[in-house]
Amino acid sequence: MSTKPPLMELPIETSDTGFYSGFSKSVAIYSKLIVAILVIWAVVFPEQAGRILNAINSFILANTAYWYIWIVALFVTLCIALAIWPAAGRLKLGVDADTPEFSNFSWFSMMFGAGIGVGMLTWAVAEPVYHFQNNPEVIQGIVEGSSAENVRYAYKWSFLHWGLGAWACYAIAGLALGFFCYRRGLPLTMRSSLTPLFGKTLSGPLGNLIDIVAVVATILGVAQTLGFGVEQFVAGLTRIGIDGLMNDGGTANTTGIIVALLAIMGASTASALSGVGKGIKWLSNLNMGLSIFLLSFFLIFGSTFFGLQALFLGIWDYVIALPSLMFTVWRADGVEGSVATNLEGWQGAWSVFYWAWWVAFAPFVGLFLARISKGRTIREFVLGAMIVPSLMCFVWFTWAGGTAIDLTLNQGAGDAIFGTGDGDKIFAMVVHMLGATLGWVMSLVIVILLMTYLVTTADSAVLIVNTINAAGDEGPKARPHIYFWGIALGAVVGALLIAGGGGGGGLKAIQTAMVIGAFPFSVVMVLQCVALVKAISNDIKREKSGIQTTTEAAPSAAE
């Protein structure tokens, strides 16, 4: 049992002069090289890149289903345990005198906007529709697809992917970072979260490697989210009357991709230059306000009773089934087209993909959550970061997606909604509900909301990557580095979308790269769990022995 004082100093070598002044050159240069090589490879050798990436992706998905399912179960279990463990839950992410920097409304707004807001506008309608047509119960013959009896199953699986599992990934990364940065005074960078395991060795190459893995995972995870957002943004622009941006098949063409990325990345880079307390906070509050307006529209004018019933029954089914859902892994039996093979294919395409996506997104959202959560207790952080956003997702899925299902199932919408692309479904639904004129107005509101979510996500990612590259320095960064990562993030999305042929092929290319990038960081996250439990246990013992557990003055947040 350790009774020694905890490590409260982790020097990271940074450059004193030149272009990389204030930055860890090893982390900044190597992460930039990896991203640049990926972009050039995807553009210059698209067929070779696609073939090799797909082979690696297939190997990972075929051999890591157990890993992803079980580690997300670990994250959920640990978060709940820390929240209900009295001695752990009362510990602050900071010293005793620290108080939260942001109001609860701003905190939830930034958390939701950066964490999952973009995906909400695409998948709140598209995913329940998918699962309404096909899910494991349909594959097993328990229920018929597209039937009224399948609505509850559709929401059980939708809630699984967007509920506690997703937010537990973010909470673990954010909690580990916030704990060691604001209690110990260590740099706000990924390596600090592993100090109970590796100590001062993290000042060198091992720490650099961990931060590089985090940067690459962040870029690929955010690229996945922006890829879906770009497709939906182009669909929205087409709905409000801007033509020439989509292919005949209903997917964004090269012109549409370039126009969308120029608008999104230009605005996000400008916002990133203003910092968290200004541009990002203002945009987060704006998109939360617009989200409440749009959600209120569905609550009042959508399928209100259908959505309410789906919400309560869906939560009940989800909570009851969660212990089983978290640990079930389906494996093929070697027979093509068999139930077992189809279940494995479904789980790989949905659950395993989602867990990889949330893990890839975790360094970005986790560090961002840590940055905006200084002064909150572990219990407050865990409950706030898991339960509130999950409930917001559930409400969106049941009222937005539920309205789409109800209009099709009971009100004769036919293929007007189900027959459109994923990103276009929400636009098709409001046009069907309101008619051409009012539908155009509501489509414009959705386009503006989507733009604010995309910009919030992208500019937050740029700031987070720069923070990691700058050895955890939260202060102002050199403008060229912000410009570089803004351009690089847009280039990754554009290169993979265009190299993949746009639309479904392009999104598949981004998905493949993201799954590959997520795997090494998933190992880091499991180590974070071990380090966090070890640190909290030792701190409780240290407090009983009168040994100091926090830095004298925790680093203050950047203005």
Chain segment 459-512, per-residue pLDDT in tens: 778 888 888 999 888 665 567 888 888 888 888 888 777 765 555 555 677 777
| pLDDT classification of 1: cutoffs 50, 70, 90 | very low
User: How many residues are recorded in the chain?
Assistant: 559
SS3 21: strand
Which residue's structure tokens are 């746009």?
502
Residue type, 342: N
- CA distance linking residue 204 with residue 301, whole number of Å: 58
Contact 66, 354 (CB under 8 A): no
Residues 6 or more apart whose CB falls under 8 angstroms from that of 97 comprise: none
CA distance 236 to 441: 11
Q: Summarize the confidence of residues 330-355 as an average pLDDT.
A: 90
Query: pLDDT band at residue 367, thresholds of 50, 70 and 90?
Result: confident
Q: For residue range 185-241, what is the model confidence (pLDDT) as tens digits?
A: 999 899 999 999 999 999 999 999 999 999 998 888 888 888 888 888 999 999 998
At 499 the pLDDT is 62
Q: What is the mean pLDDT of residues 438-467?
A: 86
495: left (phi over 0), alpha (psi -120 to 50) or beta: alpha
Please check the confidence at residue 256 and state whether its pLDDT lies above 50.
Answer: yes
User: Distance between terminal CA atoms of the chain?
Assistant: 40
Report residue 557's pLDDT band, with 50, 70 and 90 as the boundaries: very low
More confident residue, 535 or 2: 535
| Cα 211 to Cα 193: distance, rounded to the nearest angstrom | 11
> 554 pLDDT exceeds 60?
no
Question: Quick one: CA dihedral 409, 411, 413, 414, positive or negative?
Answer: positive
The per-residue pLDDT for 272 is 67
Of 395 and 119, the one with more pLDDT? 395
Across 51-62, average pLDDT: 76
The distance of Cα 179 from the centroid of its chain, to the nearest Å, equals 21
- List, as own/partner pairs, every contact residues 539-542 make where C-beta atoms lie below 8 angstroms and the sequence separation is at least 24, other chains included: 539/6, 539/91, 539/183, 540/87, 540/88, 541/1, 541/2, 541/3, 542/3, 542/5, 542/6
CA dist., res. 477 & res. 461, Å (int): 14
What is the spatial distance between Cα 207 and Cα 236, in angstroms, rounded to a whole number? 43
List of residues 6+ apart from 270 with CB closer than 8 A: 279
The answer to whether the CB of 418 falls within 8 A of the CB of 134 is no
- With CA atoms as reference, report the closest residue to 424 among 159, 247, 221, 161: 247
Mean pLDDT of 522-543: 94
Confidence of residue 58 (pLDDT cuts 50, 70, 90): confident
Q: What is the DSSP secondary-structure string of 418-481?
A: HTS-TTTHHHHHHHHHH-HHHHHHHHHHHHHHHHHHHHHHHHHHHHHHHHHHTTT--S---HHH
pLDDT at 107: 83
Q: Which amino acid is at 187?
A: P
**Which class for 266: exposed (0-12), middle (13-18), buried (19 or more C-beta within 10 A)?**
middle
**Encoded tokens for 164:** 């506690």
The rounded distance, in Å, linking the Cα atoms of 98 and 100 is: 7
Q: What domains sit in the chain, N to C, each tagged with a CATH number?
A: 25-542 (1.20.1740)
Average pLDDT over residues 154-170: 95
- pLDDT: is 493 or 181 the higher one? 181
Average pLDDT, the chain: 86
Could you give the CA distance from residue 433 to residue 450 in angstroms, rounded to a whole number?
20
Q: How far is CA 328 from CA 150, 319, 334, 352, 359, in A?
A: 20, 15, 19, 11, 19
Considering only 2-16, 125-139, 485-499, which range has the smallest mean pLDDT? Answer: 485-499
At 475 the pLDDT is 63
pLDDT reading at 556 higher than 50: no
Residue 324 neighbours by CB under 8 Å, 6+ apart: none
Number of Cβ within 10 Å of residue 539's Cβ equals 21
Q: Where is average pLDDT lowest: 159-168, 178-187, 276-285, 352-361?
A: 276-285
The pLDDT value given to residue 444:
93
Q: Provide the 8-state DSSP code for 556.
A: P
Q: How many CB atoms lie within 10 A of CB 262?
A: 12
Annotate 210-231 with b (16+ C-beta within 10 A) or e (fewer): bbbbbbbbbbbbbbbbbbbbbb
Residue 114: its pLDDT value, please? 57
pLDDT given at position 407: 94
Q: Is the model's pLDDT at 143 over the cut of 80?
A: yes
- How confident is the model over 380-428, as pLDDT tens digits? 999 888 988 898 889 999 999 999 999 999 888 888 999 888 889 999 9
Tell me the mean pLDDT in the region 291-316.
Answer: 91
Q: Examine the pLDDT at 339 and tell me if it is beyond 70.
A: yes
pLDDT band at 558 (very low <50, low <70, confident <90, very high): very low
- Among 43-52, 314-323, 465-474, name the most confident range: 314-323
Q: Which one has a higher pLDDT value, 37 or 157?
A: 157
